[in-house]
Structure 1
Amino acid sequence: MKFSHFRDILAVAETGSLRAAGRHLGIAQPAITRSIREIEQELGVTLFERHAKGVRLTEMGQVFVRRAQAIQSEIRRAREEVEQMKGQAIGEVSIAVSTASSMSLMPSAVTTFRKRYPDVVLKITESFFQPVEADILSGRIDFYVGPLDQSNISSQFSVEKLFDNYRMVVARKGHNYGSARSLADLMDARWLRPALSDRSTEGDLEAAFERLGLPAPNIVVHARSALITLLTVANSDLLTILPQQWIEFPLTANLVEPLLLDEGVMTAAPMCIARRQDMPLTPVAEYLCDLMRRAGEHFMHRRDKAGGVAQIAPR
């Protein structure tokens, strides 16, 4: 089994056809076909099955590709780590961040990182943890920064808590409910439910109403995008619940504002860093991870100095 076998199979899996994989790699299609046949003979299984528009992975092929992606990522990391230890600031770092962490942590961390490593390619994916869990294990993403419920995390991950996280009821600037001081004042409101970090928290809004003996909130919009959430709430009379970071971020603070309710804030999953347990980061990726850690410390310091979330939404 050669590295070229992994390269060819991953190219075919990504492009969906032998011809497209050959063009992508700059290799003749017969060579790609021969490479796949060799590895299938060695493994004794079929990795691809043909269909009208190309090929697709078999169940065995999917298993093999997951491992091949991890091998390819680790080979790349090994090469980059050696070069970085030799003093050459090259390579790439790939991270996944939630919207809230990108607002509160990423600006300062990325600015400092780019100054030190201007030639390193930085790949940033906006996501919660669950959609990128497999990519972290395969090595396609170095680490994740965002809200995370640590109770259900596999031991394959190392998780470091940065700070506690909170969400608040939010409305557009100048909303009629701006003077509301209790959830009881919002019984006639219509709500937008944003995508949250963990499905176990999706009933928090309803639970808050239920604890007060109030009818369930009238949720009329479900949004799976941070941009759609912001634009919809800022341009309508809908209310929503958002992380504290949205209220403090200059670009969003000008569009929406928190309602200072007597019930206070809603606890959310804490902000964390998650990475593979069994594999160290490259020196460059470790540096960025440490910058995110420091940014988290600065965020906590600013919040504590300002009186915490209680100043934003007193109980």
Structure 2
Amino acid sequence: MKLSHLRDVIAVAEHGSLRAAGRRIGVAQPAITRSIREVEQELGATLFERHARGVRLTEIGTAFVRRASAVHAELRRAREEVDQLKGRAVGEVSVSLSTASSLSLMPSAVQAFRKRCPDALLKISESFFRPIETDILAGAIDFYVGPIEIDQVSQQFTVEKLFENRRLILARKDHPLSNARKLSDLVDAEWVRPVLSGNNTDVDVDFLFKEQGYDPPRVALHARSAMVMLLVTMNSDLLTILPEQWLDFPLLSNLVAPLPLDEPLAGTPICIVRRRDMPLTPLAEIFCDLMRRAALNYVHRREAGRGQ
């Protein structure tokens, strides 16, 4: 089996049709068809089944593509690492960041990376850790930066804590509860629950009340979109809870405000998570280090702001 076979199978799986896959990788459709047939003959199994709009993976095809994608990604990294070790700052870096990390750390890290490695391609996706855990193991994503419960992470990963975090309860400006000092003042309030990605206790209002001994509050709206959540909070009396980095976005800080609670609300620490068994490429290591520096600068700014 040739590496071009893996390339063709992965392309068809990603695009759902032979024609679209051929256009994407610059290979004629008949050659793609022949490549798929050769792989299926070698494996003695069918990888794709046809449907009205193209093709879809069979169960065996899904398992094969999962492994093939990991092999293909590692080969790309191997080639790029050789180039980078030869002094050429070219290739790809793929990272996944939580929204909080994107707001507080990404801008300065990206700016510095672009100056240092202008010919590199940086791919950034937004997610919490659980949905992209398998992508990191498969090599599709180099590393993750965001909230994570360190003791719940598999030994397949290394976890590096950047800083402790805290959460804020946010309300629109001039909210009737804008002077609330205790969580007990909020037991009758109504809430927007962020459901941004998977199960994440860092933004779970039920968990917040439970850990302080109160009954769960009334949740009036579940928001799977950050935009929906913010628009509702800005234009109603509903409250929400988010990591404090959300207020680093100037437009948001002008429209909502944190409630001045006497006791800070601890949040899940912000960490870097990466595969344990495979080092980052030199280029990915550069961006990872820039994220560390951005985190250190963020902590200094935060502590300076709290001291004022």
Same fold (TM over 0.5): yes
- Identity value in percent: 63
Distance in 2 between residues matched to 1:140 and 1:17, nearest whole Å: 21
Distance in 1 between residues matched to 2:211 and 2:22, nearest whole Å: 61
CA gap of 1:25–1:212, structure 2 versus 1, over 3 A, is closer
User: 1:296 maps to what in 2?
Assistant: 295
User: 2:206 maps to what in 1?
Assistant: 206
User: 1:29 maps to what in 2?
Assistant: 29
Give 2:280's aligned amino acid.
L
CA gap of 1:22–1:248, structure 2 versus 1, over 3 A, is closer
User: 2:96 maps to what in 1?
Assistant: 96
User: 1:68 maps to what in 2?
Assistant: 68
User: 2:264 maps to what in 1?
Assistant: 265
Determine whether 1:191 maps to 2:191: yes
Paired residues of 2:149 and 2:268 also in contact (CA < 8 A): yes
Correspondence 1:201-240 to 2 at 5 A: 201=201, 205-210=205-210, 214-240=214-240
Following TM superposition, by how much is the alpha carbon of 1:15 offset from its aligned partner in structure 2, in angstroms?
1.5
Unaligned runs of 5+ in 2: none
1:236-276 CA distance string (max 9 Å, x none): 221010111123443322121111123x2332221010111
Distance in 1 between residues matched to 2:277 and 2:211, nearest whole Å: 43
What SS does the corresponding residue of 1:175 show, helix, strand or coil? coil
User: 1:254 maps to what in 2?
Assistant: 254
User: 1:277 maps to what in 2?
Assistant: 276
User: 1:47 maps to what in 2?
Assistant: 47
Distance in 1 between residues matched to 2:17 and 2:207, nearest whole Å: 50
User: 2:181 maps to what in 1?
Assistant: 181
What SS does the corresponding residue of 1:191 show, helix, strand or coil? strand
User: 2:129 maps to what in 1?
Assistant: 129
1:225-244 CA distance string (max 9 Å, x none): 22322222122221010111
1:135-168 CA distance string (max 9 Å, x none): 2122221111000112222222121111112112
Following TM superposition, by how much is the alpha carbon of 1:208 offset from its aligned partner in structure 2, in angstroms?
4.4
Give 2:79's aligned amino acid.
R
Distance in 2 between residues matched to 1:21 and 1:200, nearest whole Å: 36
More displaced, 199-208 or 249-258?
199-208
CA RMSD of aligned residues (A): 2.2
User: 1:287 maps to what in 2?
Assistant: 286
Following TM superposition, by how much is the alpha carbon of 1:21 offset from its aligned partner in structure 2, in angstroms?
2.2
User: 1:13 maps to what in 2?
Assistant: 13
Following TM superposition, by how much is the alpha carbon of 1:185 offset from its aligned partner in structure 2, in angstroms?
2.3
Give 1:127's aligned amino acid.
S
What SS does the corresponding residue of 1:46 show, helix, strand or coil? coil
User: 2:151 maps to what in 1?
Assistant: 151
More displaced, 65-74 or 283-292?
65-74
Following TM superposition, by how much is the alpha carbon of 1:187 offset from its aligned partner in structure 2, in angstroms?
3.1
Paired residues of 1:148 and 1:197 also in contact (CA < 8 A): no
Give 2:22's aligned amino acid.
G
Distance in 1 between residues matched to 2:163 and 2:214, nearest whole Å: 31
Give 1:296's aligned amino acid.
A
What TM-score results when the alignment is normalised by the length of structure 2? 0.92
Q: How many residues align?
A: 308
User: 1:113 maps to what in 2?
Assistant: 113
Distance in 1 between residues matched to 2:203 and 2:120, nearest whole Å: 42
Unaligned runs of 5+ in 1: none
What TM-score results when the alignment is normalised by the length of structure 1? 0.90
Determine whether 1:162 maps to 2:168: no
What SS does the corresponding residue of 2:64 show, helix, strand or coil? helix
Distance in 2 between residues matched to 1:284 and 1:25, nearest whole Å: 24
Give 2:272's aligned amino acid.
I
Distance in 2 between residues matched to 1:32 and 1:255, nearest whole Å: 53
CA gap of 1:210–1:51, structure 2 versus 1, over 3 A, is closer
Paired residues of 1:99 and 1:126 also in contact (CA < 8 A): yes
